[in-house]
Structure 1
Amino acid sequence: MKAAAATVFILLTTLSLRSTGKKFRWCTLSDLEQRKCSELSKVLLAVLPPATVNAFARVSCIRAHNTYDCIDKIRVNKADAVSLDAGDVYSAVKLYGLSVVAKEIYMEGNCVFAVAVARRGTLDIQRLKGSRSCHNGARWTSGWNIPLGFLLVRNDLVWDEDQPLSHIVGGYFNASCIPGIGVASPQLCSLCQGQKSYIQDKNHFCETSGGEPFSGSDGAFRCLKNGVADVAFLDHLAIMNATESEQEEYELLCPDGSTAPMTAYAACNLGRGPGRAIVTRHNFKKIAKKFLTVIQHLFGKKGREKARFELFASAPFRGKNLLFHDATHHFQLVDEEAEISHVLGLDYVALLQGLGHEGSSLANSLVRWCCISNAELRKCEEWALNVRSHPLVCVQANSMANCIELIKNNEADAVTLDATHAYFAGRCALVPVAAECYGEECTSAQEEEETEKLAHLTALPPIYAVALVKKNAKHVNIYNLVKRRSCHSHVYSPGGWLLLAQYTVGAQENGTANCNLSSAYEDYFWKGCMPGGGGNLCKVCIGQKEAEGGRGSSRCAANHNELYYGNLGALRCLFGDPSGRSFGDVAFLEHHNLLQNIQYLDSSGWAKGCSPSDLELLCLDGSRANVTEWKVCNLGLVPPNVVVTRPVTVAKVYDFLVKSQEQSVGLTFQLFQSKAYGESDLLFKDATRHLIPTSHLDYETILGEPFFQLAESVFNCTPAGILDFCKQDTCIYSEHH
């Protein structure tokens, strides 16, 4: 029955193709591909039912000079489809107007590991400068985009974007073979061995075609094995089936400077990116999808005619990766309206834009800072007027999570995040640029001290999470907060949400504690203000009394447009609005600037006559303490805020921050002060004295293992929209798990 159903399916599909009355023209890049394509054409005619024998009117094999010749032939309707490296797929879509119809899916999904391979004991990743290199292809995922992104992030390659990236690469390596780089960079072709000719169709030197023996990942590996190069940049698929002798002779170069066996590509690689995909013209997508469906049903891994012809095998034609990659398990058709950023992944597309794949743009020289409120925007605009380095552009968002989305979408470059949102950023493949340093010793920190790794970071003065109540509310303690009115700086805040859970919703003794903290808090407190939350935890919030051109209501917004947002906002909430209404019984916030914030609420008229003596801290032993005793009476240590960005923009953002810090000394504009804008902790915490570089550290080190592990366990159970958003980047997300 199954076989009959498959025959009917193929019959219907091919009959629907018949109406086109055209050949299906596959673009080939070598004589061997031409042979395999011709065989596909022949067996299709042999196995299709007689009624459909003219459905495709044969597969026609169109020989092209290189991948860009293929793209052009498809564009001008001289060919119909081809499978390309993801880097070329992006160019085909963005620069030539083609469309993606399907992705090749391998054992690990659609993703490939970019690896650097060298002869055993000859090289490490820190000594690449001056070596000879072979790359699978110019602007290709594993041979160009990911390795160059990696070198730029580490500042090994310094590119000011005034000159082409290829020129910088030419100065970094001693000699190279980078097929497809073009005649403008002869030094990057000097190791290639394809035939040279003044006649284009006979010239295969440094081309992405079968005529250049060092083209593609297998070609780059061949270049290394022939002793022509010291290092080869390629995808892991080329070394998955390395022979025993190859495994003994060669090794992988790991990011930390160590080396690893060829089999360890999942742990020792320069990054992951999308594999190959199939492109066609926009108006040919339906036909192309039907064609791919038919040939996969017939000749794929489970094809009913695979004994006659194997779609994903090239050995019978004495080649490798002909038409499709031999490691392909199956095709995955792409949704009709899928954006290229979702087909290839947000991070990968942002990387390509950062490497100038669409040409240089003004955005390359700008730093776009993400602001989450009107007050932050005002401060940022003043920053932009005062800074004298990269131009600063202020981008509006509505929350820290929204900023992470904008940075991933390459619509913003940087933002300062609290520790929980920094954890989200790590899960979303953004990287830490700098951490805020609080306390007197940070003020005079010297450059060499700043760059000390863990030793300096662990010495930073801590910030404490505290629970604050009015002194006259004598009956309140840390263990009887159930059904009270609560004030939290915002949803997911380190002190007022994550650490707090250990003593409230996560500590219920009846064993029925809800591991979804978001809903557990709603059940725990009677009502409150947790900006960005929902339900009864928005009922105490008041929004902005006088909306300042905001988009709709700002009530319970996860930003300063909600007056009860942040540390100052939670304190406002505890005192209640100036009319004495809308208040909470307990406020969860951070100790820094607490005394100054109390003074500010008095002087600004929000809570006239209030003083620190009106308040007390709730301690974990059930007692209470003076507000100045946060060192002994607190809910735990809060890690520093972290500035994050995309990997390829780390150097630019850090350089900008260094210059901003230098220039803000002695100016009327102060980077780490916010009261002039009617709020606290705008863009950075007001307690910040200095920013410390952190690009050499991972999030677990910066946030501390206890906090990081707590976040891991909580978000295995508690949903967060930003984590769902980031799951779209399947390559990145699968690395985390």
Structure 2
Amino acid sequence: MRGVYAIFLFFLLVNCIRAKKMRWCTVSDPEQKKCAELAKALVAVLPPAAVAAFARLSCIRASSTTDCIDRIRANRADIVTLDAGEVYSAVKQFGLGTIAKEIYSDGGCVLSVAVVRNISLDVRSLKGLRSCHSGVRWTAGWSLPLGFLLSRNYLSWSKEQPLSQDVSTFFSASCVPGAAAIAPPLCALCQGQKSYIRQKNYHCETSHNEPFYNNQGALRCLRRGAGDVAFVDHLALESIEDSDRDEFRLLCADGSQAPLSHYRICNLGRGPGGGMVTRLNLRKTARKFLSTVQMLFGKRGKERQRFQLFNSSSFGENDLLFKDATEKLAVLPDDMDVSQLLGLDYVALLKGLGHEGSSLEDSVVRWCCISHAEQKKCEQWALNIKSDPLVCVRAVSMRDCIEKIKRDEVDAVSLDATHSFIAGKCGLVPVVTEYYGGERCGPAEGSTHLETDVLPSVVAVAVARRSSRSVFMGNLGGRRSCHGHMYSPAGWLLPYRHPLSLAHNSSAPCGPDRVYNDVFWKGCLPGSQGNLCKVCLGGTGEATTKRCADNHNERYYGNTGALRCLVGDPSGKSYGDVAFLEQHTLLDNILSLNSSGWAEGWTLSDYELLCGDGRRAPLAEWESCNLGVIPPNSVMTRPVLTARVYDFLMKSQETLSANPNAEFKLFQSQEYGESDLLFKDATQCFVHTSHMDPRSILGEEFYSQAEAAFNCTHSDILEFCNQDVCSIF
């Protein structure tokens, strides 16, 4: 049996290596020693003929991971393991290719944690402290914590200079291995040997010869009292002995502290784990080499008694060649883009932190517009403000905006409550929330900056023509329906929770789409398909679009569109029997039917509300006759951009408020022929909410309703988002 096994290995390695010497790049003497032991182990377990074909593993000693990247590019080494931040640089800046990624016991990602010994420290007041980092541009030691500090506006970045310059003045002193070339002050706390000879200079290098290098080094920096806080990944916490764990605490995002064991809920963000890179033309050979080595010496390797690939304990250091917490290597296909490997959120974060250098995008805010009318209003906005430049980018729906923000194609958009729920699941965060409270935003306040914990809401209503006396809740089966748009709170999420027909009650199937298809004969639900698109009209003129588009180009889209649908097109045809919309602009929209030329002779008394209990009521009784409360819209963006987008919105608001007689109004849309363009027309000002999570803004009841609806509704956008979420089990 052993002979068969040897023959199998022989042919596998001959096929994999084809007499090619594999050169592993190491960054310290302990790592060189472990690599040499791996080479010996390979020779020992392979038959002589296979060794000849294999030509042995060669270990190439370099001074740092940056030196390794240079050597691989110059064909003086072949393979190295890097932190995800360095993987991104190796691929995007230096043209290398990824071949594998580390998988840990609780998933393929790491959590960034801030570790301290002083119980009085607070993540909100790190300015002026001494900091220890695993490495420059490293995921847990640099990118995630800085992204967090920027998103909360605890760290200011002028963008006129590299982020590293502002970080060096934010902390009083630091050790950030690898930062010597970009910001020497960030190396003040480092302990590595200094030398004018490049190969002997280990000070602040990404090498184990720098005592404060990598996650273990950052913890060593904290332990020795050189720093006040260490930014590391959660895997490094396993190395802290039980007897010492009470000495350390984690800094949580909310300003509190927690024991080390609470890293899942007390962290500064999550990102991808480490990966291996090589030259593009060597990827196939390197992948097969890694597969073979893992088969022999991995956690379940056939020869793991001889050598343990993911164990460094006998070499005097941690995380040599690979992280010791690695369970296995996931070998990657050739066609895997770096964004797929690292995740769209993480790649967008790195771009936001300037990993690709500065560009024009760093000084502009790209706003997402979903229709011709929104584009026109956005362009007028751009012409009427004194702030950073505004660029208006076209999308086809709110869902498309969420995807474009995640892909770093746009920066921000104001979303209704249901889409804010989706955006939160997609890793986006709120910047401001629209405030519909009226007088509190007035000039008497002396400021357009409003801070409040009370977020005024609106309500969803069902409206019918007064003349349609047989139309009421509970008797809508077989009728024609008008809904604002797909996933809208008033048009999609809330109505199906009420008894719509005798055959449907609150215990009926939970999916809104299925309920509406079962209850209504046909309708207009922009963004849907089938019978729920048959009443829709499409667009005309410059806004020409196919019927049922999920934006204002569809004339029956939104609150105004749902009302038009109830009335019918200008010829009086193509109408619905009931409209589900928001109450806040209902009266204005009824009045605008005449002024816009859409329909003549309609007054407020021509409509009635349909109450959930089967009653009908005048429009003025909406407080007692409605389908539920809707949280306000929120402007959503990627976490690293919250401060920039907030500053932009405040400057816009101040500029426009200072000139109340100006023609352009940020919160008015009538002159563009629609309502609620970019923002709800009922908005009075913005409320700062970047310190709140989407769940607290939406409220527990609405959040639970949305969660229940999407648990039994297929959603392409949520499916897209879930592909990019790092899983920590």
**What TM-score bracket applies, with the shorter chain setting the length?**
over 0.9
Partner of 2:128: 130
1:330 aligned onto 2:328: yes
User: Which residue of the other structure, out of 250, 263, 273, is the alignment partner of 1:252?
Assistant: 250
Quote the residue 2:548 is aligned against: 556
Note the alpha carbon deviations across 1:252-284, whole angstroms, 9 max, x for none.
Answer: 111111111111111111111111001111111
The answer for the alignment partner of 2:180 in structure 1 is 182
Q: Is the 8 Å Cα contact of residues 72 and 279 (structure 2) preserved in structure 1?
A: yes
Query: What is the CA deviation profile of residues 513-569 of structure 1, one whole-angstrom value per residue up to 9, with x for unaligned ones?
Result: 323322332222111000001111011111013354x5xx43111100111000000
Which residue in the other structure is 1:343 paired with? 341
SS at match of 2:54: coil
How far is 1:496 from its partner? 1.1
Paired positions, count: 725
- 1:53 alignment counterpart: 51
Given that 2:369 and 2:392 are in contact with CA atoms closer than 8 Å, whether structure 1 keeps it comes out as: yes
Task: Write the distance in 2 (CA, Å) between the matches of 1:422 and 1:216.
Answer: 37
Q: Secondary structure at the match of 2:106?
A: coil
Partner of residue 539, structure 2: 544
Which residue pairs with 1:517 in the alignment?
512
- Shift in alpha-carbon separation, 1:337–1:505, aligned structure 2, 3 A: farther
2:188 and 2:490 map into 1 onto residues whose CA distance is 58
Corresponding residue of 1:615: 607
Structure 1 residue 153 displacement after superposition: 1.0
C-alpha deviation, 1:509, in angstroms: 6.2
The 3 A distance-change label for structure 1 pair 4 and 171 is same
Counterpart contact for 1:501–1:507, Cα < 8 Å: no
Partners of 2:654 and 2:200 lie apart in 1 by 58
The correspondence of residues 507-656 of structure 1 with structure 2, limited to 5 A, is 513-546=508-541, 548=543, 553-656=545-648
Deviations 1:677-714 (A, max 9, x none): 11111100111111111101111221111101111122
Question: Does structure 1 residue 708 correspond to structure 2 residue 713?
Answer: no
Three-state SS of the structure 2 residue aligned to 1:368 is: strand
Change (3 A) 1:301 1:486: same
Equivalent-residue separation in structure 1 for 2:530 and 2:446 (angstroms):
48
Question: 2:679 corresponds to which residue?
Answer: 684
Q: CA deviation at 1:304?
A: 0.5
In the TM superposition, 1:375-394 aligns within 5 A as 375-394=373-392
For the residues of structure 2 that align with 1:59 and 1:376, how far apart are their CA atoms? 61
In structure 2, what residue type is equivalent to 1:297?
Answer: M
Shift of 1:8: 6.7
Q: CA deviation at 1:120?
A: 4.2
Indicate conservation of the 8 Å contact 2:382/2:390, yes or no.
Answer: yes
Q: Which letter maps to 1:573?
A: C
Amino acid of the structure 1 residue aligned with 2:643: A
The 5 Å alignment of 1:39-118 reads: 39-118=37-116
User: What is the rounded CA distance, in whole Å, between the counterparts of 1:505 and 1:210 in structure 2?
Assistant: 68
SS in 2 for 1:54: helix
Identity score, percent: 57
Asked if the contact 1:505–1:513 (Cα under 8 Å) also holds between the matched residues in 2, the reply is: no
CA distance in 2, matches of 1:4, 1:690: 78
CA contact (8 A) 1:170 1:187 kept: yes
CA distance in 2, matches of 1:183, 1:659: 36
Deviates more, 1:648-657 or 1:538-547: 538-547
More deviation in 324-333 or 42-51? 42-51
Secondary structure of the residue that 1:637 maps to in structure 2? Answer: strand
* Matched residue type, 1:582: S
Give the Cα separation in 2 of the matches to 1:485 and 1:220.
65
Shift of 1:144: 0.7
Alignment partner, residue 476 of structure 2: 481
Distance of 1:413 and 1:13 partners within structure 2: 49
- Measured at CA, do residues 449 and 659 of structure 1 come closer, stay the same or move farther in structure 2, by a change above 3 Å? closer
Structure 1 residues 55 and 713, CA gap change in structure 2 (3 angstroms): farther
| Residue identity matched to 1:14 | L
Q: State the alpha-carbon separation in 2 of the partners of residues 494 and 312 from structure 1.
A: 50
Per-residue CA deviation, residues 389-420 of structure 1 (Å, 9 max, x unaligned), is 01000001000010011111111000000000
For 1:161, the aligned partner's letter is: K
**Cross-structure match for 1:502:** 497
Query: How far did residue 447 of structure 1 move?
Result: 7.7
**2: CA distance, partners of 1:155 / 1:26:** 42
| 3-state SS in 1 of match to 2:322 | coil
Distance change (3 Å), C-alpha of 1:722 and 1:310:
same
> Helix, strand or coil: the match of 2:494?
helix
Of the structure 1 ranges 509-518 and 680-689, higher mean CA displacement relative to structure 2 is found in: 509-518
Residues 133/562 of structure 1: CA separation in 2 closer, same or farther (3 Å cut): same
- Deviation of residue 95 (structure 1)? 0.4
**Paired letter, 1:13:** L
Q: Closer, same or farther in 2 for the Cα pair 1:447/1:35, shift >3 Å?
A: farther
Q: Give deviations 1:183-206, integer Å, cap 9, x for gaps.
A: 452321111110000000000000
What does residue 727 of structure 1 align with? 722
Compute the displacement of 1:334 (Å): 1.8
Question: 2 CA distance for matches of 1:9 and 1:594?
Answer: 75
CA displacement, residues 120-142 of structure 1 (integer Å, 9 cap, x when unaligned): 42422123111111100011111
> What secondary structure is seen at the aligned counterpart in 2 of 1:532?
coil
Q: Distance in 1 between matches of 2:300 and 2:195?
A: 43
Aligned to 1:472: 467
1:379 and 1:677 in contact (8 A); partners too: yes
The alignment's C-alpha RMSD in Å is 1.9
What's the secondary structure of 1:104's corresponding residue?
Answer: strand
TM-score scaled by length of structure 2 = 0.96
Deviation at 1:104, TM superposition (A): 0.1
Q: Identify if the C-alpha distance between structure 1 residues 268 and 715 changes in structure 2 by more than 3 Å, giving closer, same or farther.
A: same
Answer whether contact 1:17 1:55 (CA < 8 A) is retained.
no
1: CA distance, partners of 2:692 / 2:182: 38
1:53 aligns to what SS in structure 2?
helix
